[in-house]
Structure 1
Amino acid sequence: MAPLVIAFFYERISLYRSRGYSVEDCVELDQDETIEAIAQSLRSNGYEVVLVRDVKELVNRIAKGEHEKSDLAFSISEGMYGVGREAQVPGLLEAYRIPHALSDAATLALCLDKGKTKMVLEHQGIPTAPFAVVPALWTPNDFPLFIKPACEGSSKGIYPFSKVTSPSELKDGVQKLQARFPGQSILVEKYLTGHEYTVSLLGTGDSAKVLGSLQVNWSNPADGGFYTVSNKNEQGNEHLDQFVDAHNNPEVQAAEDLALRTWHALECCDVGRVDVRFGANGKPYVLELNPLPGLCPQWSSLVQTAEYHRISHEVLLGRIVESSLQRYPSLREKQTTIHWHLDPEPEVTTLGPKVHAKPLNTTK
């Protein structure tokens, strides 16, 4: 029986930097080492991996009829343009009825838009910080507030001025963000002052489980109490997080329960993260949902959480694919002798320590 053929989609940060894009433009894209490590981990699970690259390459292969030669797609493609960019590859895959791992196009498009996500969460009765989306007829009177672009990830568009304490700071900050991210809504929400947790999840529907949680460490005053594009992504900026256990810890348990409710409410699939922060009232609130998490060995929060719980990168990737195959049972027995041309096999990247500093583009 021939191995299952997985088409792997991604964007290399090195390629887009060579084309003149800025560091911040590329902050959500992946390093060569991450791409190679994911491909190798998939191969280690017995799958044949075809490196397809981005949405433009997918379009070219569809035009040639080559999209029919794979069994399953695995996309970490972020896209570069438009507020629905993370959904572009999955949307094409679904249009051509190609099975794929991770969440569907509708969920990815929704979750990237933090404003619309918060609207759905409110409708579902899931607590999230009070918010408004600019432009809106709203007079703020509950400072401090927090402002950020509604459709970015990896703390892109978050700067020290994102925490605002007065109407003048709010006006100035929103104008700066509108100039930097034209055509994109700006999210304004209540600034939460309590503990922050990153909850990692595996599975879909009733099979979804919490993998584990990290408590974000804000003990360094220089951090400002929140992630910016700099303190989250730039190499050399150490930021140490603490693994936490829900057992006998009601706060962590509350964060994980809320994360799992959120995962179900948004109908996410296979793997992802939910970031939760507590308010001054002691209640947890969803900061954001990431159904397309970073999978970089050594650095990404979800991978570090898995390793802490003795799940290697290879096993983690295998479980993600196995979860996706629950939606496509026919693939378990499917045989294929048609393969796309394979790029050279990458080397395995060694996993790092459990407490970590986070470099560029690997912290989603």
Structure 2
Amino acid sequence: MRIGITYDLRSEYVALGMSLDDAAEFDRDDTIVHLEQALAELGHTSDRIGSARALMARLTAGDDWDLVLNIAEGIEGMGREAQVPAILDVYGIPYTFSDPLVMSLTLHKGLTKQVLAAAGLPTAPFAVISKLEDLEGLTLPYPLFAKPIAEGTSKGVTSLSKVTSPEALRAICEHLLREHQQSVLVETYLDGREFTTGLLGEGVSTRVLGSLEIKLRSDSDQVGYTYRNKENCEELIIYDLIRPADDPLVKEVEALSLATWKTLGCRDAGRVDIRCDSLGKPYLLEVNPLAGLHPEHSDLPMLATKIGMTYTELIGAIIACATPRVAASRQSKARRLPRKQL
């Protein structure tokens, strides 16, 4: 197949004047190189497209692909991860990973928690703070944890995110509201074990790849998976592959992750992050249907490596999950109006 690749590169935005911190969620240049190499090994032809704007320019010029491997994060707005999927839907071009609805929902941590709680899945008690006045009357017990409501790569999460007093909570919320220009998610702080579970597939065909326990080294931020810990994970984090046969808690974690994935309608591949309370009960933290794909720095490929799956095999499995949509797209093309008539 001819497979286009949509992405946002850190280097491109930094060259345009964006700070390294602001560009942290975007991909490294070598991620695209590794993807191209994997696609070539799988027998596909790849085509670098780039950002949503670049995609629109290519589509306007009449370009087409059998499939688009989409890892574009987007830049502006709560629906930024949905922009490339929505554009491709307009043109009837199939792509990897979840659709615009899922991408928009899961980027907003508060809405995701509401949906999952309504489905009966455990998530820590929380509040959404859109302005400082929303803190008035907050009854959640301390300690609490505060983070931006729609950021990835742990952006905005620091050692100050865990708070034990109203004064500290107000200070961190004021900082996050100002710095990130979005609401703040405040939730009960969970002080137990933390896991990230990888999944492949869609609906009833979804399978669990495995689970990594995220353990903090002594010189890391001890409150959790902060931005500093994530960006320097090779030095600050220990990732232990733990199988459900060896730990009953992991069996519970993976069952909860699988139920979450199916409930939200995620597809192809991604991760569910779970943290336990002091009694060992697991709660949903976040859902990542657009997981990073750097072979050595991103959690999903690191998990694949630990279970004996090569990077090329992981990319091949993702492409295989999306392939039925390619066939469906080809069958329906004859029924579509020519693009110039749309």
Judge conservation of contact 1:213–1:256 (CA < 8 Å) in 2: yes
CA RMSD of aligned residues (A): 1.7
Structure 2 unaligned residues grouped into runs of 5+: 333-342
Task: Give the secondary structure class of the aligned counterpart of 1:241.
Answer: strand
Matches of 1:167 and 1:255, distance apart in 2:
32
- Of 48, 70, 74, the residue aligned with 1:75 is 70
Aligned residues: 328
**Bigger RCO (CA 8 Å, 6+ sep):** 1
Structure having the higher helix fraction is 2
Partner of 2:154: 155
Say yes or no: does 1:122 pair with 2:95: no
Partner of 1:139: 138
TM-superposed deviation, 1:212? 0.7
Structure 1 unaligned residues grouped into runs of 5+: 335-364
Compared CA separation, residues 138 and 97, structure 1 to 2 (3 A): farther
TM-superposed deviation, 1:238? 3.0
Judge conservation of contact 2:72–2:81 (CA < 8 Å) in 1: yes
Counterpart of 1:251, as a letter, is: L
Task: Give the secondary structure class of the aligned counterpart of 1:230.
Answer: helix
Matches of 1:330 and 1:131, distance apart in 2:
41
- Of 108, 120, 136, the residue aligned with 1:113 is 108
TM-superposed deviation, 1:39? 1.6
> Over residues 111-134 of structure 1, what are the superposed CA-to-partner deviations in whole Å (9 max), with x where a residue is unaligned?
010000000001111101110001
- Of 38, 45, 57, the residue aligned with 1:41 is 38
Say yes or no: does 1:10 pair with 2:4: no
Residues 34-43 or 261-270, more deviating: 34-43
How much identity, in percent, do the aligned residues show? 40
- Of 74, 77, 80, the residue aligned with 1:85 is 80
In the TM superposition, what are the counterparts of 1:1-364 in structure 2 within 5 Å? 4-66=1-63, 69-135=64-130, 136=134, 138-182=137-181, 184-220=182-218, 222-234=220-232, 237-330=235-328
Compared CA separation, residues 59 and 252, structure 1 to 2 (3 A): same
> Over residues 326-360 of structure 1, what are the superposed CA-to-partner deviations in whole Å (9 max), with x where a residue is unaligned?
233347999xxxxxxxxxxxxxxxxxxxxxxxxxx
Task: Give the secondary structure class of the aligned counterpart of 1:326.
Answer: helix
Judge conservation of contact 1:71–1:98 (CA < 8 Å) in 2: yes
TM-score normalised by L of structure 2: 0.92
Residues 186-195 or 211-220, more deviating: 211-220
Matches of 2:98 and 2:49, distance apart in 1:
19
Judge conservation of contact 1:55–1:79 (CA < 8 Å) in 2: yes
Compared CA separation, residues 229 and 295, structure 1 to 2 (3 A): same
Compared CA separation, residues 248 and 224, structure 1 to 2 (3 A): closer
TM-superposed deviation, 1:315? 0.9
Counterpart of 2:283, as a letter, is: Y
Task: Give the secondary structure class of the aligned counterpart of 1:201.
Answer: strand
Judge conservation of contact 1:132–1:138 (CA < 8 Å) in 2: no
TM-score normalised by L of structure 1: 0.87
Partner of 2:338: none
Judge conservation of contact 1:325–1:331 (CA < 8 Å) in 2: no
Matches of 1:40 and 1:222, distance apart in 2:
34
Judge conservation of contact 2:162–2:223 (CA < 8 Å) in 1: no
